[in-house]
Amino acid sequence: MKKELPKAYEPQQYEDAIYQRWEQSRFFNPDVCVKKGITDKNTPTFSIVLPPPNVTGTLHIGHAAMLAIEDVLIRYHRMKGDRTLWVPGTDHAAIATQEKVERLLWNEDQKTRHDLGRDVFLKRVEDFAQDSHDKIINQTKKMGSSLDWSREYYSLDEKRNLAVRKAFKKMYDAGLIYRGDRIVNWDPKMQSNVSDIEVVRTEEKTFFYYFQYGPFVIGTARPETKFGDKYVVMHPEDTRYAKYKHGDTFECEWINGKITATIIKDEAVDPEFGTGVMTITPWHDATDFFIADRHGLDKEQVIDLNGNLLEIAGEFAGMNILEARPKIVEKLTQKGLVVRIDEEYVSAKATNSRGGGLIEPQIMKQWWVDVKKKFVIENSQMEGIENGKEYSLQEILQHAVRSKQIEIIPERFEKQYFNWVDNLLDWCLSRQIWYGHRVPAWYHGDDVYVGVEAPEGEGWQQDSDTLDTWFSAGMFSFTPLGGVDEETDDLKNYHPTSVLETGYDILTFWVVRMIMMTTYLRGEVPFRTVYLHGLVRDEQGRKMSKSLDNIIDPLDVSAKYGTDAVRLSLLLGSAPGNDTKLSDEKIGSFRNFTNKLWNISRFTIGKVQETSYKIQKNIQLPQAHTLADQYILMKINHVVEIVTGLLESYQFSLAGEQLRDFTWGEFADWYLEIAKVEGNKSEILNYCLNNILKLWHPYMPFVTEAIWTEMYGEENLLMVERWPVFVETTTGEAQAIQEDFDTLQKIIIKIRSLRSDYKIEPRKKVSLVLNEDANNIFLLLQNNIDVLKTLARLETVEFGGKKPDGAISFVENGVEMYLNLIGVLDIEKETEHINKEIATVEPYVNSLEKKLSNTEFVHNAPAQVVEQEKKKLADAKEKLEKLHTQLIYLLTLRDF
The whole-angstrom separation of Cα 157 and Cα 798 is 80
Report pLDDT for 731: 66
Q: Coil, strand or helix: which one is 253?
A: strand
Bridge partners of residue 205, in order along the sequence:
346
Most confident of 350-354, 531-535, 648-652: 648-652
Q: Classify each residue of 704-728 as buried b or exposed e, where b means 16 or more C-beta atoms within 10 Å of its C-beta.
A: bbbbbbbbbeeeebbbbbebbeeee
The whole-angstrom separation of Cα 436 and Cα 454 is 17
CB 224 within 8 A of CB 303: yes
DSSP one-letter code for 166: H
**H/E segment holding residue 181:** strand 177-187
Considering just the CA atoms, what is the radius of gyration of the chain in Å?
36
CB 558 within 8 A of CB 7: no
The whole-angstrom separation of Cα 801 and Cα 769 is 6
User: Long-range pairs for 109-115 at CB < 8 Å and ≥24 separation?
Assistant: 113/434
Residues in the chain: 896
How many CA atoms within 13 Å lie on the side-chain side of 485? 10
Top pLDDT among 387 and 197 is at 387
Residue 642 has pLDDT above 70, yes or no: yes
Question: What is the separation, in whole angstroms, between the first and last Cα of the chain?
Answer: 57
Residue 884 has pLDDT above 80, yes or no: yes
How many CA atoms within 13 Å lie on the side-chain side of 237? 4
Report pLDDT for 1: 41
Per-residue pLDDT, averaged over 515-530, amounts to 97
How many CA atoms within 13 Å lie on the side-chain side of 538? 12
Nearest alpha carbon to residue 525 among 400, 407, 377: 400
CB 312 within 8 A of CB 281: no
- Read off the pLDDT of residues 331-381 as tens digits, 9 standing for 90 and up: 999 999 999 999 888 888 889 887 888 999 999 999 999 999 999 999 899
CB 64 within 8 A of CB 107: no
Beta carbons within 8 Å of 36's beta carbon, 6+ residues apart: 27
**H/E segment holding residue 148:** none
Q: Which of 374-388, 413-427, 679-693, 866-880 has the lowest mean pLDDT?
A: 866-880
The whole-angstrom separation of Cα 685 and Cα 668 is 11
Phi, then psi, of 796 in degrees rounded to 5: -140, 160
The whole-angstrom separation of Cα 707 and Cα 663 is 15
Report pLDDT for 613: 65
Report pLDDT for 761: 86
Per-residue pLDDT, averaged over 732-740, amounts to 88
Residue 847 has pLDDT above 50, yes or no: yes
The whole-angstrom separation of Cα 184 and Cα 182 is 7
Top pLDDT among 419 and 198 is at 419
Average confidence score pLDDT of the chain:
91
